[in-house]
């Protein structure tokens, strides 16, 4: 692998890790999001995620049945009217309920503006502090609501212990998934701002007018005075911060540096 491939490869691995983490959390949280965001878009849950979620929901009753095979007292393991089998059944019932709405939008695409939108939150979240903040609701309030509801339903013996544990895991996974979504949105904006800031400094570095203090701000090492100008310019352009995964027209707007023209 050449040196020129390393930065791109590392970025791809980093982005791949974020996507895997979001995907795993999404597989776990899909049943909960059916209830929290009942008007999600047709592409909010992708087919691969739904396939693994259906597999998880199929296996979930079997996992719940294992508690009956363990030497645990009934008073400690169960109670509760709703177990993992009921949670699984509710997921598949919810899928049937959502199907007509989703397929209608699949064949009539003008019915939705953005197919990947997760939908509006439940109305009562707006009454909470920061309830009008999209990300505050997604990252904080919705996971907290799921966790509190799981504990409350367990205390009144509606949920059994495995069902409560599953919902608590869903709450954690939901917070992680939504935080990663927020972080990726923030990262795109932050990358644009960093590139905008670095452009003039890189331009000064190419012409040899940038100070060491200015170069340090964009992680560019100083060059000896004996380095030929064209070599210094080419090296700086190669090392300069570049916008990752931005459309070419946006990258051109942010970039203030052009390779030096041949004399």
pLDDT tens sequence across 73-120: 444 445 678 888 899 999 999 999 999 999 999 999 988 888 888 888
Alpha helices of 141-211 — where are they, by DSSP H? Answer: 142-155, 161-206
pLDDT by residue (tens digit) across 135-184? Answer: 999 999 999 999 999 999 999 989 888 889 999 999 999 999 999 999 98
* Residue 19: its H or E element: helix 6-36
pLDDT category at 8 given cuts 50, 70, 90 is low
- C-alpha–C-alpha distance, residues 242 and 246, integer Å: 9
Token pair of 222, please? 């100083």
pLDDT category at 257 given cuts 50, 70, 90 is very low
- C-alpha–C-alpha distance, residues 119 and 102, integer Å: 13
For the entire predicted model, the pTM comes to 0.75
Higher pLDDT: 231 or 262? It is 231
C-alpha neighbours within 13 Å on the C-beta side of residue 210: 26
Q: What sign has the CA pseudo-torsion 27, 32, 34, 38? A: negative
Q: Which residues, at least 6 apart from 41, have a Cβ–Cβ distance to it below 8 Å?
A: 105, 112, 114, 115, 116, 117, 118, 119
């Amino acid at each position: 692998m050449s040196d020129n491939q390393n930065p791109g490869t590392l970025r791809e691995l980093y982005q791949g890790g974020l996507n895997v983490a979001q995907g795993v959390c999404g597989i776990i949280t899909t049943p909960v999001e059916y209830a929290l965001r009942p008007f999600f878009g047709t592409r909010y849950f992708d087919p691969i995620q739904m396939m693994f979620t259906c597999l998880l929901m199929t296996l979930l009753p079997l996992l719940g049945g294992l508690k009956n095979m363990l030497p645990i007292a009934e008073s400690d393991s169960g109670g509760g009217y709703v177990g993992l089998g009921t949670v699984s059944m509710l997921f598949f019932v919810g899928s049937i309920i959502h199907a007509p709405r989703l397929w209608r939008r699949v064949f009539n695409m003008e019915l939705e503006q953005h197919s990947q939108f997760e939908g509006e939150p439940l109305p009562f979240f707006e009454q909470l502090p920061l309830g009008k903040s999209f990300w505050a609701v997604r990252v904080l309030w919705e996971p907290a609501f799921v966790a509190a509801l799981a504990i409350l339903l367990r205390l009144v013996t509606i949920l059994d212990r495995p069902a409560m544990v599953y919902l608590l895991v869903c709450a954690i996974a939901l917070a992680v998934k939504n935080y990663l979504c927020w972080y990726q949105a923030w990262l795109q904006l932050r990358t644009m701002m960093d590139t905008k800031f670095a452009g003039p400094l890189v331009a000064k570095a190419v012409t040899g007018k940038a100070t060491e203090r200015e170069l340090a701000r964009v992680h560019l090492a100083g060059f000896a005075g004996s380095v030929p100008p064209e070599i210094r310019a080419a090296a700086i352009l190669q090392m300069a911060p570049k916008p990752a995964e931005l459309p070419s027209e946006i990258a051109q707007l942010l970039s203030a540096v052009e390779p030096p023209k041949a004399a």
